[in-house]
Amino acid sequence: MADIYLVGVGGQGIITASRIIGDAAILAGKNVLLSETHGMAQRGGSVVCTARIGEVYSPLIPDGQADVILSLELLEALRAVCKASKKTVVVSSSERIVPLSVSTQKLKYPTLEEVRRDVTEIAGEFVSIEASKLAGEAGVPMSSNIVMVGALAGTGRTNLDRKHFEKAIEMNIARNVRENLAAFSKGFDALSRKNRT
Amino acid sequence: MLLLGNEAIARGALEAGIAVATTYPGTPASEIGDALARVAKDAGIYFEYSTNEIVATEFAVGAAASGVRALVSMKHVGLNVAADALLTFAYTGTRGGFVLVTADDPSCHSSQNEQDNRYYALLGGIPLLEPSSPQECYQMTKEAFALSEKLELPVILRTTTRVSHVRGPVVVGEIVPGPKKKEFVKDPKRFVTVPAVARARHLILLERLREASKLADGSALNRTYKIGTGGRSGIITSSAAFNYVMDAAKMLGMSADVLKLGFSHPLPTHLIAEFLKTHDSVAVVEELEPILETSIRAVAQHEGLKTKILGKADGAFPQAYEFDQAIVASGLVKAFGLRGEIAKTVSVDLQNLPVRPPVLCAGCPHSATYFAVNKATNRKAMFASDIGCYTLGVAPPYSAADLLVCMGSSVGTAGGLAKVNDQPVIAFIGDSTFFHAGIPGLINAVHHGHKFLLMILDNRTTAMTGHQPHPGSDKGPSCCDITSVSIEEVVRGCGVKWLKVVDPYDIKTTTDTVKQALTQNGVSVIIARRECALIVKRDQKGAILKKQYIDQEVCKKCRTCVDKFQCPAISSVDKVQTIDDASCAGCGACAQVCPYKAIKEAR
């Protein structure tokens, strides 16, 4: 049983990330339910997908119940914190997509340290990784989402094997499969290294 | 395989051997049509994105009345448009299986209301199936076709956002192609609904519904689940609410019997009476309107049963917005007087977190249009808006929407606004929406001499729902040969004398043209034509466009580019305005907006 709450900004590839998680679960022989945000997903708004692996009926994750919150954007990690509790690990990309409200309503975009402080008040753990830099190093700068799937696998909280994720990436990514697998690997290592230290 | 609920419906329809599928795109139904568009050619079926939902329905009626199977899908409000055809088609009945999918949107995730379309089943006397999962979407679509042919009635398959947009494992079967052609056998005493025919057919419809009720009583789609040890507490539920009931009951550790209704109209009255007789109290858990609850109370009254029935009437469950596990758990605690503790959620103060609503994209031509209109009118105008991406212009800085009710309403409401207000009135409508429902309004305006400016925001696609083609598109899906219909010719054909076409990226010309239009008597039309920036980006057609940057030495920090114009690529942090090179679409609108010419083409 693993509840994964994925958040980000429309256009970041969050639905693809959720499908990879879904296929990995199916490859591992587990039941899985995903919920997707469609319609306005490409219009730059906050986007939520969920993946629940195990015997559940609804794909919605009750507040405080997420095992992992996977955020493709720093501010969105904080916005998702209602789904966290002490059992939750929050993994966020350090990428900042400044919403228009920061410019127009003169609101403040929080710093990494502020996000860490506020998230860890509720969640068990907060880890940030430079997903976009790692994706660039892998040769696919647009594949931060794949780096983040790697990071999710690296948390060890999904009970799915690495090979299932890798196969699922091959099933869902049409171009630059090798580079995307490298992106996955970089995300995986970033998290599993953190787990060791 | 893992399928989205909507994809599972498409798969079920293919396995049922449909000959014809039609739709008008709308969230959360769009992926049904999109999935069928992709495979239609290979599957040998006919698919079309119709001009609107009633045309889609009528087309399917023509095919199904002839004897082939037809699927028509739409979002909930689309059925308001299609209802005129559907409700009388229930009178004539069908020969080939006819299934209409309505995808409802509790909580209005992407909609202008959260109407409960189960009422259409009651209103029209139409059998109703309600799946809860992708597997059931697949299975019930197949069963809906069989049921439709058995009863010779149209069948409604009703989903919600949390059914249509759930992806889960689906075990599928073989695709067995059905007949693609059938000769329509003439039978005017059945199919031509003049009053004498309609009166006779209504009785036949009512007889069929009695038969349908018996089928519902014996249907495997209506089944009982035991939670814990079962017992004297019962729950009757359907659709997505069933999922929350099962999860919530587990969270609460309660015991109950659950009657899940998959075939919910006509009501399986005997099944429900038996369930009521064998339980002391029964909670009815359904999203939105208390439709099951009211009918179940009527069954209890009819049968003289004293079973306690709990639901919305007692305030245990809300009548607005979608449910989730917590809402259902709290409702069950109230309904059954459980002492279970619902885990308290941590409350975090996110009040000051910068909000991130959906916005017009970088390079969106609508942004440039709205900027130009605000400049031309000095914001002294009334804006009748319509349904599409451009509705997002309601937000500041444009505030370019004052009245909106439904598809096509911009044109009709503009006439009324203009008649009783002294300010200039501008109606905004998208290209797809204009074809869908804008044309009768325009004809009315010409005919009666209403004075307003209609701006047709033509981005060459149905953008909000995923870039489906419309009658003005040059290219259809791979399955269809299409002929592009010219918006200009339609507008002129409606009798409009003053028509101009502008490129919204040219802000000065657009501004001047709007000013000119507002001096006209009667209805004037401007077509603001520029392809959707997302399509340009996707197809890499942006080579001709030039990325922009802000020359900080020239920039006077006047904030015009963020306060009067809006582009997600432009941000203002610590009083410095910058353009994010990766997001910039290179439209160059911002360079025309800047009063100090500080925005320049990047080399």
> Which CATH number characterizes residue B325's domain?
3.40.50.920
To 5 degrees, how large is the angle CA B281–CA B282–CA B286?
Answer: 155
Asked if residue B229 and residue B214 are part of one domain, the reply reads no
Pick from B132, B167, B355: CB nearest A36: B167
CA–CA distance, A29 with A51 (Å, rounded to integer): 15
Per-residue confidence (pLDDT) for residue B151, from 0 to 100: 98
Domain count, chain B: 4
**B516, part of any domain:** yes
CATH number (domain holding residue B571): 3.30.70.20
Contact B247 A59 (CB under 8 A): no
CA atoms of B16 and B147, how far apart (whole Å): 12
Taking an 8 Å cut-off on Cβ atoms, the answer to whether B28 and A39 are in contact is yes
Residue pLDDT, tens place only, B261-272: 999 999 999 999
**To probe the interface with A, which of B2, B171, B323 has the most A CB atoms within 10 Å?**
B2
Domain boundary (B506, B538, B570) is at: B538
Q: Say yes or no for a CB contact (<8 Å) between B571 and A56.
A: no
Residue B47 sits in the same domain as residue B115: yes
Closest Cα in chain B, distance from residue A193 (Å)? 30
- The arithmetic mean of pLDDT across residues B140-148, rounded, is 98
Are β-strands A89-93 and B425-430 bridged in parallel, bridged antiparallel, or unpaired? unpaired
Tell me the β-bridge partners of A3.
A52
pLDDT at A195 over 70: no
Specify whether the CB–CB gap between B132 and B264 falls below 8 A. no
Greatest extent of chain A over all pairs of C-alpha atoms, in Å? 49
Two tokens, residue B307 = 């079973």
The model's confidence at residue A42, banded by pLDDT at 50, 70 and 90, is low
**Least confident interval from B60-69, B86-95, B467-476:** B467-476
Residues of A (170-189) whose Cβ lies below 8 Å from B: none
Nearest CB to A100: which of B4, B348, B566? Answer: B566
Rounded to the nearest angstrom, the minimum Cα separation between B26 and chain A is 8
Q: Distance (Å) from the C-alpha of residue B518 to the closest C-alpha of chain A?
A: 30
The answer to whether A58 contacts B2, with C-beta atoms less than 8 Å apart, is no
Is B489 contained in some domain? Answer: yes
B574 band by pLDDT with thresholds 50, 70 and 90: confident
Residue B314's contacts (CB-CB under 8 Å, 6 or more residues apart) are B334, B335
Q: In this structure, are residues B11 and B170 in contact, taking their beta carbons and an 8 Å threshold?
A: yes
Of B350, B352, B358, nearest to A10 by CB-CB distance is B358
B536–chain A nearest CA distance, Å? 14
For residue B163, give how far its alpha carbon lies from the nearest alpha carbon of chain A (Å).
9
- On whether residue B149 sits in a domain, the answer given is yes
> Which residues in A lie closer than 8 A to residue B168 (C-beta atoms)?
31-34, 59
Mean pLDDT (whole number) for B198-206: 98
The maximal CA–CA distance of chain B, rounded, in angstroms, is 84
Q: What is the pLDDT of residues B367-418, one digit of tens each?
A: 999 999 999 999 999 999 999 999 999 999 999 999 999 999 999 999 999 9
Q: Which of A140, A181, A152 is nearest to A50 (CA)?
A: A152
B contact test, residue of A43, A55, A171 with most B CBs within 10 A: A43
Chain B CB within 8 Å of residue A195 CB: no
Whether B167 and A18 lie within 8 Å, measured CB to CB: yes
* Minimum distance, in Å, between the CA of residue B349 and any CA atom of chain A: 10
Q: What is the pLDDT of residue B340?
A: 62
- What's residue B603's pLDDT? 74
CA distances from B356 to A43, B121, B371, B385 (A): 10, 38, 21, 22
Give the domain range for residue B324: 222-336
Residue reference for tokens 């814990």: B228
Q: Which residues contact B241 (CB under 8 A, 6 or more apart)?
A: B285, B286, B287, B323, B328
β-strand B98-104 against B155-160: which pairing, if any? Answer: parallel
Which member of A39, A57, A98 has the closest CB to residue B573? A98
Nearest-Cα distance to chain B for A196, in Å, is 30
Helix (H) or strand (E) holding B551: none
A23 at B interface, C-beta within 8 A: yes
CA B442 to chain centre: 24
Number of H helices, E strands in chain B: 22, 23
Report the distance separating Cα B482 and Cα A98, nearest Å: 42
Cα–Cα distance, B553 to B386 (Å, whole number): 41
Topology (CATH) of A2-196: Pyruvate-ferredoxin Oxidoreductase; domain 3 (3.40.920)
pLDDT recorded at residue B478? 80
Query: Is 0.95 topped by the overall pTM?
Result: yes
Confidence of residue B350 (pLDDT cuts 50, 70, 90): confident
Supply B47's token pair.
Answer: 């698919």
Residue B418 lies in a domain: yes
Enumerate the domain spans of chain A: 2-196
Q: What pLDDT does A38 receive?
A: 77
Q: Is the pLDDT of residue A98 over 70?
A: yes
In whole angstroms, give the CA distance from residue B272 to residue B532. 52
> Smallest Cα–Cα separation from B525: which of B407, B422, B413, B446?
B446
E strand or H helix that includes residue B533: helix B533-538
Chain B residues whose beta carbon lies within 8 Å of the beta carbon of residue A50? none
User: Strands B263-265 and B281-285: what pairing?
Assistant: unpaired
Q: How far apart are CA B39 and CA B603, in angstroms?
A: 44
Beta-sheet strand order (sheet of B453-458): B382-384, B425-430, B453-458, B524-529, B498-502
CB contacts, 8 Å: B165 with chain A: 35-38
- How far apart CA B470 and CA B422 sit, in angstroms, is 35
Q: How far apart, in whole angstroms, are the C-alpha atoms of residue A156 and residue A165?
A: 12
- Which pLDDT score, from 0 to 100, does residue B348 have? 65
Q: Do the beta carbons of residue A65 and residue A85 sit within 8 Å?
A: yes
Distance from CA of A47 to the nearest CA of B (A): 9
pLDDT at A107 over 90: no
pLDDT at A196 over 60: no
The answer to whether the Cβ–Cβ distance between B350 and A78 falls below 8 Å is: yes
Q: How many angstroms away from the CA of B410 is the closest CA of chain A?
A: 21
Kind plus residue range of the DSSP H or E element containing B316: none
The reported pLDDT for the residue numbered B545 is 81
Supply B567's token pair: 């582009």
As a whole number of angstroms, the distance between CA B402 and CA A197 comes to: 57
Q: Measuring CA to CA, how many Å separate B434 from each of B414, B429, B440, B473?
A: 14, 6, 10, 13
> Which residues, listed in sequence order, are joined to residue A9 by a DSSP beta bridge?
A46
Report helix, strand or coil for B481: coil
Instruction: Mark which residues 98-117 of A lie under 8 Å from B by CB.
Output: 98-105, 107-110
Asked if B562's CB is within 8 angstroms of A104's CB, the reply is: yes
According to DSSP, the β-strands at B256-261 and B222-227 are antiparallel
Residue A148 CA from chain centroid, whole number: 5
Q: B538 pLDDT band (50/70/90 cuts)?
A: confident
Name the residue among B199, B276, B215, B283 with its Cα closest to residue B249: B283
DSSP letters, B35-58, are HHHHHHHHHT-EEEE-SSHHHHHH
Q: What is the pLDDT of residues B464-508, one digit of tens each?
A: 999 999 999 988 888 888 999 999 999 999 999 999 999 999 999
Q: Kindly state the DSSP code that residue B96 receives in the 8-state scheme.
A: S
Q: Per the structure block, which two tokens stand in for B88?
A: 């009388």
Does any domain span residue B451?
yes
Q: Do residues B166 and B31 touch, judged by C-beta distance below 8 A?
A: no
Query: CA dihedral in degrees (A159, A163, A166, A172; nearest 10)?
Result: -70
The pLDDT of residue A40 is above 70:
no
Q: What is the mean pLDDT of chain B?
A: 95
- Nearest CB to B346 within list A46, A78, A85: A85
HEC assignment per residue over B334-391 = HHHCCCCCCCCCCCCCCCCCCCCCCCCCCCCHHHHHHHHHHHHHCCCCEEECCCCHHH
Quick one: tokens of B45?
């079926």
Q: Domain check: are B533 and B552 in the same one?
A: no
B chain contacts of residue A44, beta-carbon cutoff 8 Å: 356, 358-359, 361, 568
Contact A22 B167 (CB under 8 A): yes
B527 bridge partner residues: B456, B501
Do B168 and B210 have their domain in common?
Answer: yes
Give the CA distances from residue B353 to residues A52, A78, A111, B123, in Å, rounded to whole numbers and listed in that order: 27, 8, 12, 45
In terms of domains, do B468 and B326 share one?
A: no
Q: How many angstroms separate the CA atoms of B66 and B64, rounded? A: 5
For residue A164, pLDDT beyond 80: yes
Question: Do B209 and B244 belong together in one domain?
Answer: no
Q: Which residues of A touch B577 (CB under 8 A)?
A: 103
Residue B485, domain CATH? 3.40.50.970
- Identify which of B455, B479, B320 has the alpha carbon closest to the alpha carbon of residue B383: B455
DSSP strand pairing (B166-169 vs B2-4): antiparallel
User: Within an 8 Å CB–CB cutoff, is residue A76 touching chain B?
Assistant: yes
Nearest chain B alpha carbon to A24: B2
| B358 within domain boundaries | no
Spatial distance between the Cα atoms of B287 and B324, rounded to a whole number of angstroms: 10
Instruction: Pick from A23, A47, A58, A115 the residue to mutate for testing the B interface (most B CBs within 10 Å).
Output: A58
